[in-house]
A and B are shown apart, each in its own frame.
Chain A
Amino acid sequence: MPPATPTITPVVPEPVSSEGDGARHLANPLREGLRLERIPEPCTMVICGATGDLTGRKLGPALYNLMLGGFLPPEFTVVGFARRPMSDEAFREILRQGIDQFSRNKPVKRSVWDSFSKGIEYHAGEFHEPAAYVELAKKLDRIDRDRGTAGNRLFYLAVPPVLYPEIVKQLEAAGLAATGEERSDGKRGWVRVIVEKPFGSDITSARKLNRELGLALKEDQIYRIDHYLGKETVQNLAVFRFGNGLFEPIWNRRYIDSVQITVAETVGVEGRGEFYDQTGALRDIVQNHALQLMAMFALEPPVEFKASDLRDEKLKVLRAVKPMSASDVADNAIRGQYVSGWVEGAKMHAYRDEPEVNPESQTETFVALKLAIDSWRWAGVPFFLRTGKALPTRVTEIAVQFRRAPLALFARAGTPQIDPNILAIRIQPDEGILLRFGAKVPGQGLQIRSVNMDFRYGSSFAVDSPDAYETLLLDAMIGDASLFTRGDEVERAWEILDPLLRAWGQDRGGPLHFYGAGTWGPPAADELLERDGREWRRL
């Protein structure tokens, strides 16, 4: 028998670290070994812009599912904050309907909802009106007293980004922004603010926004949400690389020939024409999702698997990506826009025929990029990124192409060139890992054919994975910022793309190519790789 350890002794409550790293000390001895080791402290979540679409569609269902799963403490309280006057009851009804419609567990369970809804309130007020915040502060104080939420507050800014600075400024003025020791209201609870993407529209606006938020908040209070990273992906990538001894030794320029990152959507703009026409694929996908994936793929081993270390390493990768000079843009970046075609058996209109889209729009719906990471690990390894709308399949993956075998040992047998090995990390739709290698075709003679070794998460762990918002909201309440983007990362990503934005904004840097909906982008995107004797993976 192992010596029966009189394990945990600290039953006296210990101060919980306010450091935003999720490295919370396991202060509750009963939590040891339980499946839910991560339980947030009691807190109030204030949804600014609570009457918007996001509340009913994503936030309400996410909170309800967290509550149903027992992840939220009983004291947890929601306060909806928006302009429209409304009773608590009416706001609860909005949430309930959203859950009934969009939750992965539905319909709402009467009894669970009854007790959950007691902790839902509504606060009407103008976002630029100081009095609204004073009232809000009073309400939050009362909630702290009545429901025991201990001054912990999570503000979710579900409003257009132009309102972020105003709201944050007002929060500060009302004494609602200070956290921990700095608070003047005698409480020691934490205050965190979640903001949605897009975070700026170029380097200048992103810097400005960071600066304005920074006037009232500290960086570790700001949680920039990128719902893409809320998928299991990030942890999986890290586990794949650092939880296995097999792959890390070959994860460098000696063995890897090139890397392809694909974020492909089959849909068009889906009624978001106005938004998309001002945004484009570069801002919508590349700046956040694609570059984050690349950073997660390429980063050096962090000292610890915690937010600050991870984000330091991601930033290092982004810093090593040299922004293109204006003259390089045409050589290394391809932009495209779809014209009408057939996707998944259905006719799709040209982008310019979409409602709310400028009929002469120059907005790109497809981007292919060749980037280089100038680090010891990656020097000379091209990273190819492509993303687009109205492509043939919906797929997100990172594919590593390894160097070919040094000698064509089997050349005489009629197999002049063996295909290179490929390791594909699929993120969407079904997460998995695929390794392609050459094998001898059985029989006389030596024929070599590529075969796949395929692993699917879905086949090995068929569990109902949580919605990205559930993961992210819970992380923010716990104070684990690993899956959120830090200010300097955001700025650096904009810096990388700045030359492209400038060039394309002035219609330089290569023409806007057109591609038929349902194809893999313009031929120019293929040429980008063919120049080096490579080709895009067929997906």
Chain B
Amino acid sequence: MAPAVAGAGMAKSTKAERELAVHRRLMRFGDAETLATPMWEQRGTSVGEIEAELGRLWGVPEAGGGPEALVTEKGLPHARTSVLNLIVTVVDSAAADRVVQTMMSLGIRHPSRAIVLVADHEAGGNALDARISTHCHATPLSADERICYEEVVLTVRGEAAEHLAGVVAPLLIHDLPTFVWWPGDPPFAHLVFDQLVELADRLIVDTSDFADLLAGLRRLATLRHRSGVGDLAWERLSIWQERIAQFFDAPRFRRYLPNLNRMIIRYAVPSKGHRGRQVAEDPVHKVASPMAQAALLSGWLAARLNWRRYRTLDPLADGGFRLRLEGAYEMVELRIEPEVDDRLAPGELTSVHLRAYGETGAAEFIIDRAGDEATVATNADGMTALLRQVSMEPPDEAELLSQQLTANLRDPVYESALRAAAIFLGSARSAEAPTSEAQPVHVAQELGG
């Protein structure tokens, strides 16, 4: 058992000191049950103070800890395996709490220094409030070992909120990749956005939360070179991408790939008066752009298969549109349609239908989703449909974020899908769609290429 950390001086020490002692013990010996301990809270503080506190938190216990605590290999003090910095920007403290909840389940997988920024440049009062807490989790491998990480919630008010990068930068752990997670609708036009993106190796957003999807996609597609972009809406698509790719793994079906001539993607919207399945138990969370996933999926296939925009058949109306694209051998009809479905969260895909011409007639590749399951069917080569049921459980937000944090910093496949989606959406939206242009524009050349 670990020796008492604070020794005889314990009785006289202040409450805060005692908590700190307990916390250090927790981190060194992992024998406490605590999950999150609010450790240190200060109103009207400074960046320097916060920095000092973070340093103190991981320092050596001064008295009584004794060097014997440092040497044993088994009851080893937890080495700090931080693997990344995570900056999260939110609009208010309610959103901050939601983010903290998400990260609770994340911490174990991504030991990190997490900094949650609540910025309000219109508010008065203290320029800077800070709250530092640590989270310790038992690892799945051994119950008596804990992984700890710390989380700093900063509330920045007034003018300081216009210079967030300067507040955050000194608090980051050097040499670790920095992720900026921006839930909701990022202020693309604002200087603060550029500042924080400048700090980031990877920016993570959720394009389904964008108020203006097209503007958002365009902005992301033209981000500065250094930052990679991640997207939770894209991450939700990964299971669809796997299933679609799987159709064409078998060489005999792969030959249909260049001959695809129709793609219909449907996504869930709630029925009138119904709000759809709530996302992350958050009553205020609305899906602002439910079309995001469908648009990205179409962009993905188009970019992989080198389809170009050709003309707009039906411009955007009621959340749906129809375009004609030019494929390698065939013209491809792209149709995106909303479908009322109250079981799924708004924006989740409900079905993807692909059609191709083959030597023996039309071939169809179909994924139809019902709740957490989907029917996958192949109807080709004049064969009766190959049917099977697969699981389609949507991962929760923490899972999505976790995947995004593990991925490579830059994702060229996403970036090309993003560009294509922006082009399709742009054509569908503009009243005078470039149908008259005889010359189709290559997807990739159109945006900042």
Q: Does B318 contact A (CB under 8 A)?
A: no
**B residues 399-449 in Cβ contact with A at 8 Å:** 406, 411-416, 419, 442-445, 447-449
Task: Report the nearest B residue to A149, measured CB to CB.
Answer: B250
Cβ contact of B239, chosen from A70, A430, A449, cutoff 8 A: A70
The segment from B68-76, B268-276, B337-345 found at the interface with A is B68-76
The segment from B13-21, B113-121, B152-160, B252-260 found at the interface with A is B252-260
Separation in Å of the A537 CB from the closest CB of chain B?
Answer: 9
Cβ of A42 and Cβ of B250 under 8 Å apart? yes
Cβ of B246 and Cβ of A450 under 8 Å apart? no
Q: Does A6 contact B (CB under 8 A)?
A: yes
Cβ of A16 and Cβ of B251 under 8 Å apart? yes
**B residues 77-110 in Cβ contact with A at 8 Å:** 78-79, 81, 83, 108-109
Cβ of B139 and Cβ of A70 under 8 Å apart? no
Cβ of A11 and Cβ of B249 under 8 Å apart? no
Q: Does A2 contact B (CB under 8 A)?
A: yes
Cβ of B444 and Cβ of A28 under 8 Å apart? no
Task: Report the nearest B residue to A441, measured CB to CB.
Answer: B67
The segment from A240-248, A297-305, A453-461 found at the interface with B is A453-461
Given A8-B304, A112-B391, A461-B109, A70 and B243 contact (CB-CB distance below 8 Å): yes
Separation in Å of the B332 CB from the closest CB of chain A?
Answer: 13
Given A33-B413, A115-B388, A430 and B250 contact (CB-CB distance below 8 Å): no
Cβ contact of A455, chosen from B79, B414, B449, cutoff 8 A: B79
Cβ of A450 and Cβ of B222 under 8 Å apart? no
Q: Does B306 contact A (CB under 8 A)?
A: yes
**A residues 89-112 in Cβ contact with B at 8 Å:** 109, 111-112
Separation in Å of the A113 CB from the closest CB of chain B?
Answer: 9
Q: Mark B54-74, 1 if CB is under 8 A from A, else 0.
A: 000000100000010011010
Cβ contacts under 8 Å, B443 to chain A: 4
A109 to B251, CA, bound (A): 30
**B residues 180-203 in Cβ contact with A at 8 Å:** none
Cβ of A451 and Cβ of B81 under 8 Å apart? no
Cβ contacts under 8 Å, B376 to chain A: 74
Cβ contacts under 8 Å, B386 to chain A: 74-75, 147-148
Given A6-B444, A441-B67, A429 and B249 contact (CB-CB distance below 8 Å): no
The segment from B123-131, B140-148, B162-170, B283-291 found at the interface with A is B140-148
Separation in Å of the A39 CB from the closest CB of chain B?
Answer: 5
Cβ of A27 and Cβ of B73 under 8 Å apart? no
Q: Does B241 contact A (CB under 8 A)?
A: yes
Given A5-B444, A112-B389, A462-B140, A34 and B245 contact (CB-CB distance below 8 Å): yes
Cβ contacts under 8 Å, A460 to chain B: 81, 83, 111
A462 to B242, CA, bound (A): 23
Q: Mark B265-306, 1 if CB is under 8 A from A, else 0.
A: 000000000000000000000000000000000000101111
Q: Mark B351-378, 1 if CB is under 8 A from A, else 0.
A: 0000000000000000000000100101
Cβ contact of B250, chosen from A31, A73, A451, cutoff 8 A: A73
Q: Mark A425-459, 1 if CB is under 8 A from B, else 0.
A: 00001100010100001100000011111111011
What is the number of contacts between chain A and chain B, taking CB atoms within 8 Å?
178
Cβ of A150 and Cβ of B250 under 8 Å apart? yes
Q: Does A68 contact B (CB under 8 A)?
A: yes
Q: Does B174 contact A (CB under 8 A)?
A: no
Cβ contact of B141, chosen from A12, A29, A35, A458, cutoff 8 A: A458
Cβ contact of A459, chosen from B73, B111, B243, B383, cutoff 8 A: B111
Separation in Å of the B389 CB from the closest CB of chain A?
Answer: 4
Separation in Å of the B207 CB from the closest CB of chain A?
Answer: 18
Cβ contacts under 8 Å, B419 to chain A: 4
Cβ contacts under 8 Å, B445 to chain A: 4
Cβ of A41 and Cβ of B304 under 8 Å apart? no
Cβ contact of A462, chosen from B139, B238, B243, B328, cutoff 8 A: B139
Q: Does A463 contact B (CB under 8 A)?
A: yes
Cβ of A1 and Cβ of B412 under 8 Å apart? no
Cβ of A11 and Cβ of B67 under 8 Å apart? no
Separation in Å of the B202 CB from the closest CB of chain A?
Answer: 15
Q: Does A182 contact B (CB under 8 A)?
A: no
Separation in Å of the A173 CB from the closest CB of chain B?
Answer: 30
Cβ of B76 and Cβ of A452 under 8 Å apart? yes
**Chain A interface residue count, Cβ-Cβ cutoff 8 angstroms:** 62
Q: Does A506 contact B (CB under 8 A)?
A: no
Task: Report the nearest B residue to A442, measured CB to CB.
Answer: B60
Cβ of A4 and Cβ of B444 under 8 Å apart? yes
A458 to B445, CA, bound (A): 44
Residue from A11, A42, A115 having most chain B Cβ neighbours under 10 A: A11
A460 to B141, CA, bound (A): 12
A70 to B247, CA, bound (A): 12
A450 to B73, CA, bound (A): 10
Q: Does B244 contact A (CB under 8 A)?
A: yes
Q: Does B387 contact A (CB under 8 A)?
A: yes
Q: Mark A132-167, 1 if CB is under 8 A from B, else 0.
A: 000000000000000110100000000000000000
Q: Does B12 contact A (CB under 8 A)?
A: no
Q: Mark A6-47, 1 if CB is under 8 A from B, else 0.
A: 111101110010000000000111111111100101100000
Given A3-B449, A6-B442, A34 and B241 contact (CB-CB distance below 8 Å): yes
Cβ contacts under 8 Å, B246 to chain A: 39, 70, 73-74
**B residues 220-250 in Cβ contact with A at 8 Å:** 221-222, 225, 238-239, 241-246, 248-250
Cβ contact of A1, chosen from B109, B304, B449, cutoff 8 A: B449
Q: Does B390 contact A (CB under 8 A)?
A: yes
Task: Report the nearest A residue to B407, measured CB to CB.
Answer: A35
Separation in Å of the B378 CB from the closest CB of chain A?
Answer: 7
Cβ contact of B252, chosen from A33, A150, A434, cutoff 8 A: A150
Cβ of B140 and Cβ of A148 under 8 Å apart? no
Q: Does A114 contact B (CB under 8 A)?
A: yes
A9 to B249, CA, bound (A): 16
Cβ contacts under 8 Å, B250 to chain A: 41-42, 73, 75, 148, 150
Cβ of B147 and Cβ of A41 under 8 Å apart? no
Cβ of B373 and Cβ of A111 under 8 Å apart? yes
Task: Report the nearest A residue to B327, measured CB to CB.
Answer: A11
Cβ of B81 and Cβ of A434 under 8 Å apart? no
Cβ contacts under 8 Å, B73 to chain A: 434, 436, 452
Task: Report the nearest B residue to A39, measured CB to CB.
Answer: B249
Task: Report the nearest B residue to A116, measured CB to CB.
Answer: B388
Cβ of A455 and Cβ of B373 under 8 Å apart? no
Cβ of B444 and Cβ of A111 under 8 Å apart? no
Cβ contacts under 8 Å, B70 to chain A: 449, 451
Cβ contacts under 8 Å, B411 to chain A: 33
A1 to B445, CA, bound (A): 11
Cβ of A31 and Cβ of B389 under 8 Å apart? no
Task: Report the nearest A residue to B72, measured CB to CB.
Answer: A452
Cβ contacts under 8 Å, A112 to chain B: 373, 389-391
Cβ contacts under 8 Å, B391 to chain A: 68, 109, 111-112
Task: Report the nearest A residue to B328, measured CB to CB.
Answer: A11
Cβ contacts under 8 Å, A450 to chain B: 71
A236 to B107, CA, bound (A): 23
Cβ contacts under 8 Å, B60 to chain A: 442
Cβ contacts under 8 Å, B145 to chain A: 430, 456, 458-459
Cβ contacts under 8 Å, B442 to chain A: 6
Cβ of B76 and Cβ of A454 under 8 Å apart? yes
A188 to B419, CA, bound (A): 41
* CB-defined A-B contacts under 8 Å, sample of 7: A16-B251, A30-B248, A39-B246, A41-B249, A70-B243, A459-B81, A461-B109
Starting from the known contacts A118-B388, A429-B141, A459-B145, 6 additional A-B residue pairs (CB-CB under 8 Å) come to A1-B447, A4-B447, A456-B145, A458-B142, A460-B81, A462-B139
Nearest 9 CB-CB pairings of A with B: A33-B413, A4-B444, A115-B388, A30-B245, A111-B389, A11-B258, A458-B141, A454-B79, A115-B389
